[in-house]
Structure 1
Amino acid sequence: MWKRIVLIAVLAGLLALMMPHQAWAQGPELPDQANQACQRLFKMLDAGQLKESYTLTSPEYKKVNKPDDWFGGLLSERESMGPVKARRLVRVEKAETLEGLPPGSYLKVVHVTQFERYPESEEIVFLAEVPGQGYGVVKYKIEYDRWPEAIKIIANGLFIVFFIMCLLALITWVIGKVMQQRDAKPAADKKG
């Protein structure tokens, strides 16, 4: 009798795990207006309109930052990533403080993005709710694995050092041979 009850309970548990559950199927909750703000930003950034994307920033951001602060580092970093191949929302978190901005209600929206040159990257957009206007962007950053880039730089540096050392060794050898021949001539002249 107990074996039958345990067997039924195990089967019911397995069946519950195999059935798609509505809460499991949903991704992170992002308000429509916040999603629209992210999509507008991504559309501009993907089109190369990095300077123009400043228009999407919130009034709070504009009070404490200039346009140069927004796209200064963004230009070179974003252009070096290459075109976007895929992007998906993975996480939404609430925050009350952000560095360089007054305390408030912020959303941290994280997308996993596959760029041409950096296939495993995260784009992080921080949004602030603007009363009557939806959401404004207050911060955007990209996180990616910088080691491949660092390894290339280190390898290039080591190659240059190796090349210079070989060149110096060759120059030293040539100078040594010239000196030997020069010293050998007077010795041959003395014998003769």
Structure 2
Amino acid sequence: MAILDAPTTPSLFDRLTRPLRNLQHRVRRRHGRIDIALADFMEEAVRPGDKVLQLGADETASLTILERGAFLSLVASAGAADIVETACQTRGTDAGRLRVFNSVRASESAGTADAVYLAPATGFAAQAAHLRHATTRLKTNGLLLIDGVDTVAGGRIYDALQADLGWRIDEVISGRVAVFRKTAAFLAA
């Protein structure tokens, strides 16, 4: 016979209303401010110690990932990395888990990642190249966050991944960041 601890056991009302509260939470995240919604999503999705690869510079995403205690491999210019390190110092976030690479090829030494964040890139060719690199680096069942799906280039990638059986759409954050889960391992061609 199981013994239930009354203070920690959810009440019948809590258990019945949990699906509604979860739905309200997802709606707020879907239509809220991007920085707050992204931080809220990262709080649930990224655990301390996870490896996250970020392709392209986005200071808000970098800080959010580092504040969660994850290891961040950032592929960006040296100037963008300096901005992230300065922002970490002003917010009191440890930048010791940040590794900066100046090219995609150099970042391959970081290994596979639990999550990949694609910052908006200029043009479809750059975004597609980042996606190609991300698919090889992401673990099966890992998360791919594509920022800029409200643009033409990001929208094309969103449509392609939504039609691909190797990916599952989890949610769209603030109409701008699509979250896909890698459901199948890809063969190297």
Shared fold, TM over 0.5: no
Identify the TM-score tier after normalising by the shorter chain.
Answer: under 0.3
User: TM-score of the superposition, structure 2-length normalised?
Assistant: 0.23
Q: Considering fraction of residues, name the structure with more helix.
A: 1
Higher relative contact order (CA 8 A, sep 6+): 2
User: TM-score of the superposition, structure 1-length normalised?
Assistant: 0.23
